[in-house]
Amino acid sequence: MLTYDQWETAEKPSFPSDNETKGALDVLAWAYREYGDEMVYACSFGIEGIVLIDLISQVKPDAEIVFLDTGLHFQETYDTIEKVKEKYPSLRIVMKRPSLTLEQQAAQFGDELWKRDPNKCCELRKVIPLREALTGVTAWISGLRREQSPTRRHVEYINKDDKFRSVKVCPLIHWTWKDVWNYVYKHDLPYNVLHDRGYPSIGCAPCTAPAVDPNDLRSGRWAGQGKTECGLHLT
């Protein structure tokens, strides 16, 4: 088995990228053969997540999906999760919450921490909970695409994840924004209606706005704060 600790010596798989899913189904089939229940999908239920859930359901209908429920998400995001539960009843969707409630966080760090120190807020409400969710897990799946941002251009299908000491599987690296939407429309998949309102990338409500740059799909995230990632994908 390809693990974090054996990364340097283990044989790495290769996958075709010239088929209908640009390698995504091949990657997922290999990953679930390799890791089985020792792998989870950390999903934000954005549009890439909807595609991955549909692909995963074809490979492992009872896969575990972890949603980092910060308590600050849009209602539309929670509505999307309910629609996904209805469409894929066999999936095991886990709502992973931080150890601190919003009230406890405010008492310790002050009100609206996300305005004063968004990195700390993301650490408390996303990074630490994901680390907890990945305890005892060998690999996790992410919906990163190379096209999304400069920080993601060099992502591979299979990655050594030093932050979480895990293997990070990214099946959609070669998909374009158009590919994602074509797949959603073709298969009539439910998705977050905020995507139709100018939100290509959707995170917590206080830190997410409609995209300010049509050429930068993540330009509505932490706008004006010099921040582009929540920390989950930074080493």
Catalytic residues: 230
For residue 165, the 8-state DSSP code is: T
- Burial track 14-41 (b if 16+ CB lie within 10 A, e otherwise): ebeeeeebbbbbbbbbbbbebbeeebbb
Cite the annotated binding site for [4Fe-4S] cluster by residue number.
121-122, 204, 207
Cα–Cα dist 223/226, whole Å: 7
> What residue type is assigned to position 47 of the chain?
I
- CB 140, CB 166: distance < 8 Å: yes
> Between 75-87 and 47-59, two packed helices, what is the crossing angle to 10 degrees?
20
Name the β-bridge partners of 204. Answer: 73
Q: Please name the helix (run of DSSP H) or strand (run of DSSP E) that holds residue 118, with its range, or none.
A: helix 118-122
**Residue 227 identity:** K
Q: Phi/psi at 15 (nearest 5 deg)? A: -135, 145
